[in-house]
Structure 1
Amino acid sequence: MNIKQVNLKKIKPYGDTLDDGKIQFSFTLPVNASDEAKECAKRYLEMLGFSNVIITHMDAMGKGFSFFVAYASADKTIDFTTISVPKATREVWDKHTIVEKVEKELKRNITIVGACIESDAHTVGIDAILNMKGIAGHKGLESYHGFVVYNMGAQVPCEEVIALAKKVNADAILISQIVTQKDIHVANLTKFIELLEAEKLRDKVIVIAGGPRITHELALELGYDAGFSVGTYPEDVATFIVQSLLHKNLK
Structure 2
Amino acid sequence: MSDTEDKRLLRPYGDTTGDGMVQLSFTLPMPHSKVAEGAAEQLAHKMGMDPALVVHAKPMGPDFTFFVVYGRVHHLVDPSIVEVVERDYELLTPKEVNAAVKERLRRRLVVVGACIGTDAHTVGIDAILNIKGFAGEKGLEYYRELKVVNLGAQVSVPQLVERAVAEKADAVLVSQVVTQRDAHLLNTREMSAAFREAFPPARRPLLVVGGPRFDEKMAGELGVDRVFSRGTTPGEVASFLVHRIATAPAVAS
TM over 0.5: yes
Question: Structure 2 counterpart of 1:217, which letter?
Answer: K
Distance in 2, matches of 1:250 and 1:20, equals 56
- The aligned residue for residue 214 of structure 1 is 214
Residues 89, 239 of structure 2: 8 Å contact kept: no
Deviations 1:131-185 (A, max 9, x none): 1111121110001121100001111121221122112211111122211111222
- The aligned residue for residue 156 of structure 2 is 157
Residues 88, 227 of structure 1: 8 Å contact kept: no
- The aligned residue for residue 236 of structure 1 is 236
- The aligned residue for residue 180 of structure 1 is 179
Deviations 1:37-80 (A, max 9, x none): 22222222112211121221222222232222221011110111
Deviations 1:67-122 (A, max 9, x none): 22221011110111111212453432233332332244554311111111122221
TM-score, with length taken from structure 2: 0.88
Deviations 1:170-212 (A, max 9, x none): 1111122211111222222122222212222443221111122
- Identity rate, percent: 38
Unpaired runs of 5+ residues, structure 2, are: none
Root-mean-square deviation (CA, aligned residues, Å) is 2.2
Between 1:116-125 and 1:29-38, the stretch displaced more is: 29-38
Distance 1:58 1:187, change over 3 A: closer
- The aligned residue for residue 3 of structure 1 is none
Q: What is the correspondence of 1:107-118 to structure 2 with a 5 Å cutoff?
A: 107-118=106-117
Distance 1:70 1:153, change over 3 A: same
Distance in 2, matches of 1:212 and 1:60, equals 25
Residues 113, 172 of structure 1: 8 Å contact kept: yes
| Number of residue-to-residue matches in the alignment | 246
- The aligned residue for residue 35 of structure 2 is 36
Distance in 2, matches of 1:157 and 1:185, equals 13
Distance 1:11 1:55, change over 3 A: same
Distance 1:216 1:167, change over 3 A: same
TM-score, with length taken from structure 1: 0.89
